Each structure stands twice: as C-alpha cells, then as structure tokens.
Amino acid sequence: MLYPEIEPTHSGWLERPDGHEIYWEELGNPDGIAVVFLHGGPGAGVSANSRRFFDPQKYRIILHDQRGAGKSRPFGSLENNTTDHLIGDIEALRQARGIDKWLVFGGSWGSTLAIAYGQAHPDRVLGFVLRGIFLCRDLEIDWFMDGMDRIFVEAGKRFLAAVGFDRNPGSAALLDRYGDVFAGKDGDVAAIAAARAWSGFEATCCTLLPDDGLVENFESDGIALALARLEHHYFVNKGFFAPDQLLANMNRICHLPAVIVQGRHDIVCPPISAFDLYAKWPGAELEIVEDAGHAASEPGIVRELVRATDSFNGTGFTRK
C-alpha cells in the first residue's frame, strides 16, 4: 500500500545558530504540493519508509531528523532541545527550501509537533494528516510510565528491571530513576542498557500483533540512545507546554482541514486523545482503524494514511 521505494533528490544539513545541524532530504515532484513529514519519538528519526506515504508525482516531499535524532548533529543532544527549538527548525527549513505553505504530516510525537507548529504558524499550513495522537498531557505521560506495563506485562517487567525495580513505583519515581541512569550515575553501560529497555518496551507496545523486527530496530544504537533520552527529556519537561496547551489553542488551526488516523488498540497513545482533539476540530475527519495499534507500519494505518494523502487536493481532502 505504500508507494515504491524512492531516494532523495536533494539532502543536506541545515545549520542553526545554536550549533545544531538538522539533516533534511527532499524528493518527489519539485512543482508538486509541498508536504513535511514529522517523525515520532522524539528521537526516532526518519526512515526510508517515511518517504513512501506520498505519491511522488503529486508531492514535493520534505523530511528531516529532529534535533538529536537520526543524522542530525550532535546525536542525542539535549542542549537547546525544546519544542520551541523544533518548531523553529521546521520553519527555518520551510524558508530555506523556498516553500510558501505545506501539508503537515505527523504521527505520535510527530502529531504533537505538527499541532504545535501549526498553532505557531497557521498561515504556513495547508492542512494536516495526523496519526496516533499524543497531546503530551500528564495523563498520557503517566500512562506510558505506569500503565502500558499492565497490558504488556513481560516487556514492562524488563522496562522496570533495567533501572532496578521489580514493581512499578509510579510515574514520577520511575522518571526520576531513569533520569539518574541516563545521567550516568550508574555508569555508561547501565545507561545504554536502560535506553534499549525503554525503546524496546515502547516498540513492543506499538503493534497489535508482535513485530520482532520493529523491536530490534528500536533497540539498535541508531535509535535507542536518542529515543529514550529525548523522550525522557520531553516527558520530564511535559513537552515544554503549559497544561492542556494544545487543546486550548485549537482556535488557531481548527479552520484548517485535517485527517486523524487512530488505531483502536493503540496502547502507546490511547484513542481518548484522538477523540479529545477531534472534539475541538469540527472540520476534521477521524478514522478509527479497528485492527491496529500504534505503529505507522500496520496495514490498516498505512491504508488510511495513504488514502488521506491521495485525497488531498491542495486546499482540502476530497474523500470517496
């Protein structure tokens, strides 16, 4: 259901004033509808499949690795890494590529960032395609830290054991303990093991049916170290948002078209957040995929995401 594999026609690093270098790539039709892909995590980075949700004859496709992730430099850096910095990077990339407005596509943390970017720059957005909604509220962070392990019990035990717990001490205490380990108080080996446990736990919880390849990918050096440390950093700082900020500011973007794709069995980002967002967005369309969890790789999620991008005509979604 994805479009065929495709290589970038242009790529490079966008130098930012604070020392970060943001890796970006462009592909598809240079005269097509511009779309920006915002990856999850934070810290997950883009992959070859990230390019394949869009018809390359129709779209001018822009992807980038967010600060600290993927090929962006310095890898795993928490310094000058906040949501406002990420929004600034997206806007700087838009200007650098000479794009007036674009469709914004994001899943999981990418949905969070897409909404935040849109609220900061609504005049630069054509519309949204969002998946696995995460609004960075306390209830969502607490569920990740002290909730998912009640469903995925075996992976949850490994998640806890990596930082010395045999039972969940609660969200705040678990975040504190992971913070100590990631800071190196137990040594670098323990920090790396904890990062792999965190990332592997998340990957295990991502799919309705087991996907060993996804877990192995998340536990690799290229993803685990950045994903775990950056997610922890953003969780501790509550996404650098005020309470309920994204829902409170929906008046800034609710006039724009959107398709929200949500797996019914999403354990990482439970559907309640998608419904809460949809309630604030009268013009949006909500597609519940009954046979899917959280991952963008699940067939039903892929189907609806591609259907959404195929139906966008530059001003809205023409659904059949």
Q: Please state, in angstroms and rounded to a whole number, the distance separating the CA atoms of residues 53 and 296.
A: 10
Q: Please state, in angstroms and rounded to a whole number, the distance separating the CA atoms of residues 19 and 80.
A: 9
The reply to whether 266 belongs to the active site is yes
The reply to whether 311 belongs to the active site is no
From the candidates 20, 39, 232, 294, give the one annotated as an active-site residue. 294
From the candidates 108, 111, 199, 273, give the one annotated as an active-site residue. 108
Q: Which residues contact 320 (CB under 8 A, 6 or more apart)?
A: 311
The reply to whether 255 belongs to the active site is no
Beta strands in 1-144 (DSSP E): 10-15, 21-28, 33-38, 59-64, 102-107, 125-131
From the candidates 149, 199, 266, 273, give the one annotated as an active-site residue. 266
Query: Rounded to 5 degrees, what are φ and ψ at 190?
Result: -65, -40
Q: Which residues contact 296 (CB under 8 A, 6 or more apart)?
A: 40, 49, 107, 131, 132, 302, 305
Query: Please, are residues 260 and 277 in contact by the beta-carbon 8 Å criterion?
Result: yes
**What is the DSSP secondary structure assignment for residue 212, as one 8-state letter?**
H
Residues belonging to the active site:
108, 266, 294
